[in-house]
Structure 1
């Protein structure tokens, strides 16, 4: 499949440049997606961040070289991207349990992480709820922050952002400005949701906005918010099962993972680089659900 070939091509580029500089933009171009989407697909498919995979592979190769050559530790650290011998020694010892110097001794136990490759895996028959829709251009507004996927920053920072904006009343103000004030008797999609990757960012970061839909009358305090224009697109819309509050994170993350590891590899669509939404709703039962909106195009 083209999708798997592109992902494996990007992985081959990374493997070929472990002893040098790895340009995530180049890897993403080979995979025909943005850096953010490539990193996210990689972590969903492998259950580890891309940066952690690279770290493990480099330290695996470094251990091989230490046992098979007379290369100096300082030179080996520089070769695999560490700015100082101390930083390399700390990383090496954290993974292998011994210092680089001790690893040269016979009988020392070390860890080896093999090279990955992507394949289709047949899984149990578990349905996914989705629909394909066409939607005209629309506008959202809200509060934006930039995140990276390095060391799971986004997994920590985004929940903290939500908590902060809920606590200080910003989420309520966005809902009021969108003319869709929420109360517990309402059902369906809430007035305040989340959108990411609606514009390019620098240094491997991606924009994330807690947002509302622009009202027909426009915004009174437009300078208080970031505004994003969403073009007319074809969307694949996926829906979680209903869940309780304490299941929110696990249900939404599981849906994202299944989209990229099960639906896209087997469907006749591929994801476009562009805005992705999480729409949060309340079902008739009173439980929560989430819709994930991803722009797509026919393969």
Structure 2
């Protein structure tokens, strides 16, 4: 299908160019991207269905896994339908309001995801370091309250960015060399004074990532200290296996995310299409891997998923 007749100077419209320099390969690029997206949806919906149906899994740890699965469904869904519309049908136009809304939800869900990982680290700390008080400290009601706090924190931290950007004039061509409205890409198009926005976005990145990573490191540092005091090798191994699962999930999230953010800000010599591909992999790879990691390494969940699949057959 041909391009929509969006003019580059239309003040109410941005043009999402897709992957710059690789426009001819958009159809081929869409194949792995759509495959990753479908796998992530199937895996995370399976987790939600299994935990929802099995009463024995209605515990804090599995409720947190469900929260993580929800963010893993929402995050790529905010981007992939539009990206596939660009790849398949050349639908490149997006309104300024739509762009800022997409940007807000992408970054809000990302902050929410990070907060859930912190909560999961705290959950493991309490379970291992204070097992006798676990049932009283972390109830299902407490997990629901913590989830609400995570959501409020994400909204409060991210909402100023689109509000500040909505007050900015944008440069003439309105072209974004990406398939999504990332904050950095939108900020680069602003023609007014963006000093406050740049400072706020940098502070936000370091405060959220830095604070969350410090809390996670502190939790696992205390866990490792407690594990080293365990004399039983069997208990020692079981505890380490549980921690390893969560650490794998955290590495799949923070490593590509930090790398992508740093290359945008510091990697001026890196080609634009590399930035774009990295941002997509950041949205697609963790949601695809998380259900696999939990399904393989969490015995109770693995058994219930196996039971559910066998019953369906």
Structure with greater proportional strand content:
1
What is the TM-score normalised by the length of structure 1?
Answer: 0.24
Larger Rg computed on CA atoms: 1
What is the TM-score normalised by the length of structure 2?
Answer: 0.23
Structure with greater proportional helix content:
2
